[in-house]
């Protein structure tokens, strides 16, 4: 069966967008065949979809693009490859001596994955192509989520310190949690033990240059010492090499820098868990002692389709503006013990452990854990743990 695609072309001034977009890319293909070695290449800029991968539950979809060239444009071609791998091509009218063009293309698509490719050529023969992937329909999105996504976890655990007292459980906790994430939920896991401040940020930088697909998730976990400075009014994670007497706190990992760095990681779905003293001051409102729990229960009906279409920046910490227990050696910290219990028992018949369910395991601890969102979090989003099918 051939897939119906209806084109409706309209030249416009560029406007807003209504679909959900994920991923980051500036990838463009250049074709120098038949062109002068000195040819100036056109520039293609996508307004809608602005990013490489797109989900849309509805088949009515608009693309908005601007093309500019220092020499006059000669030809613009739009190609759409449908779910059956049929390619549909449309030439876009280009008037003589046109150096820039803004336009909107209305598409009416059936369910499934589509590749939309735009090619622009100027009179010097300079040719540029740029493409976007659009997945249409709830079933198609659900299939993409279940088949074509990955979950990542970085766990930073420190129990050996150069200038602070050693702890007994962080590395043990992190390894046990990592094993559960890997074996039950299929996460790709990396454990960083006893890292310096520089090593922590270098590792976060590694994950900042990864390419993530729309429904990929990243969990970041910290276990170790935490500290709150009344002068700065801010909390810190203590690195292996943090100095005990460091008035400027430049050897520490500030919560404000963590918020910025983790928020800018290009994965659409990020969850931060912190089992450190004063971890709750990651929320600046808690640092000012005005914080309250803004986390709310969510409905998991059509969960993977709805929730993973929104940008996620959630956090959970083992306490507020307080000290928390490291626990007995080899017995896990109280927070890690409940976190592990949630991973082992959670999910139920739908195989999905939500943050709401995770909260129910740890919220009775003393001190009370903190939950919330940070950075560019969408309140309708969630981070999910999907157990592997038996």
| Residue 325, CA atoms < 13 Å, CB-side half-sphere | 14
Q: Sorting pLDDT into bands at 50, 70 and 90, what band is 234?
A: confident
* Range among 84-93, 191-200, 227-236, 285-294 rated most confident: 191-200
Higher-confidence residue: 134 or 29? 134
pLDDT at 13: 33
Give me the pLDDT at residue 188, please.
96
Every domain of the chain and the residues it spans: 6-137, 149-386
**Which pLDDT does position 331 carry in this prediction?**
66
The candidate with the shortest Cα–Cα distance to 270, out of 197, 194, 355, 358, is: 355
Q: Given pLDDT bands bounded at 50, 70 and 90, which one contains residue 110?
A: confident
Contact 287, 236 (CB under 8 A): no
Instruction: Indicate the helix (H) or strand (E) that contains 189.
Output: strand 188-193
Query: In CATH terms, are 6-137 and 149-386 the same topology?
Result: no
Tokens of 104: 């909107």
Note the CATH architecture for domain 149-386. 3-Layer(aba) Sandwich (3.40)
Interval 41-96: pLDDT, tens: 999 999 888 767 777 777 888 899 999 999 999 999 999 998 889 999 999 989 99
Check residues 331 and 192 and name the one with the higher pLDDT: 192
- Report whether 212 contacts 51 (CB < 8 A): no
Structure confidence at residue 142 (pLDDT):
60
- CATH superfamily to which 6-137 belongs: Immunoglobulins (2.60.40.10)
pLDDT exceeds 50 at position 9: no
Which helix (H) or strand (E) is 66 found in, with range?
A: strand 60-68
> Averaged over 120-145, what is the pLDDT?
80
> How far does CA 294 lie from the centroid of its chain?
21
What pLDDT is recorded for position 23? 38
pLDDT score of 10: 41
Is the pLDDT assigned to residue 1 strictly greater than 50?
no
- Return the structure tokens found at 89: 């091509």
pLDDT value, residue 283: 45
pTM of the model: 0.58
Kind and range of the H or E run holding 273: strand 269-276
Q: What is the mean pLDDT of residues 314-323?
A: 64
335 to 154, 302, 370: CA distances (angstroms): 18, 30, 11
- Sorted by sequence, the CB contacts under 8 Å of residue 147 that are 6+ apart come out as none
**Is pLDDT larger for residue 350 or for residue 313?**
313
pLDDT at 135 over 90: no
End-to-end CA distance of the chain: 35
When the pLDDT of each residue in the chain is averaged and rounded to a whole number, the result is 77
Q: How many CB atoms lie within 10 A of CB 137?
A: 20
Q: Which residues pair with 104 in a beta bridge?
A: 10, 64
Higher per-residue confidence, 277 vs 137: 137
Q: Kindly tell me if the per-residue pLDDT of 132 is higher than 70.
A: yes
């Amino acid at each position: 069966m051939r897939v119906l695609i209806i084109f409706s072309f309209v030249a416009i001034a560029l406007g807003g967008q209504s679909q959900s977009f994920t991923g980051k890319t500036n990838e463009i293909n250049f074709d120098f065949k038949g062109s002068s070695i000195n040819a100036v290449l056109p520039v293609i800029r996508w307004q809608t979809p602005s990013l490489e991968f797109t989900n849309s539950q509805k088949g009515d979809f608009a693309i908005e693009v601007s093309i500019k060239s220092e020499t006059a444009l000669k030809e613009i071609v739009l190609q759409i490859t449908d779910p059956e791998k049929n390619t549909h091509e449309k030439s876009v009218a280009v008037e003589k001596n046109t150096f820039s063009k803004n336009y909107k293309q209305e598409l009416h698509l059936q369910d499934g994955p589509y590749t939309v490719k735009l090619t622009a050529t100027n009179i010097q023969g300079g040719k540029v192509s740029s493409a976007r992937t659009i997945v249409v329909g709830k079933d198609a999105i659900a299939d993409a989520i279940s088949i074509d996504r990955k979950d990542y976890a970085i766990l930073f655990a420190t129990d050996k310190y150069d200038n602070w007292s050693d702890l007994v459980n962080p590395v043990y906790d992190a390894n046990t949690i990592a094993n559960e994430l890997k074996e039950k939920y299929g996460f790709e896991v990396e454990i960083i033990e006893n890292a310096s401040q520089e090593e922590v940020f270098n590792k976060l930088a590694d994950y900042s240059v990864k390419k993530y697909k729309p429904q990929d998730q990243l969990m970041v976990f910290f276990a170790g010492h935490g500290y709150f400075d009344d002068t700065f009014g801010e909390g810190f994670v203590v690195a292996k090499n943090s100095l005990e007497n460091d008035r400027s706190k430049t050897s520490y990992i500030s919560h404000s820098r963590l918020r910025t760095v983790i928020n800018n990681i290009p994965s659409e779905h990020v969850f931060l868990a912190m089992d450190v003293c004063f971890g709750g001051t990651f929320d600046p409102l808690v640092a000012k002692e005005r914080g309250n729990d803004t986390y709310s229960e969510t409905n998991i009906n059509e969960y993977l389709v709805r929730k993973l279409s929104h940008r996620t920046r959630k956090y959970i910490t083992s306490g507020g503006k307080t000290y928390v227990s490291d626990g007995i050696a080899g017995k896990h910290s109280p927070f890690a013990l409940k976190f592990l219990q949630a991973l082992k028992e959670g999910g139920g018949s739908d195989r999905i452990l939500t943050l709401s369910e995770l909260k129910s395991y740890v919220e009775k601890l003393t001190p009370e854990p903190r939950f919330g969102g940070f950075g560019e979090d969408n309140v309708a989003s969630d981070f999910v743990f999907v157990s592997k099918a038996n």
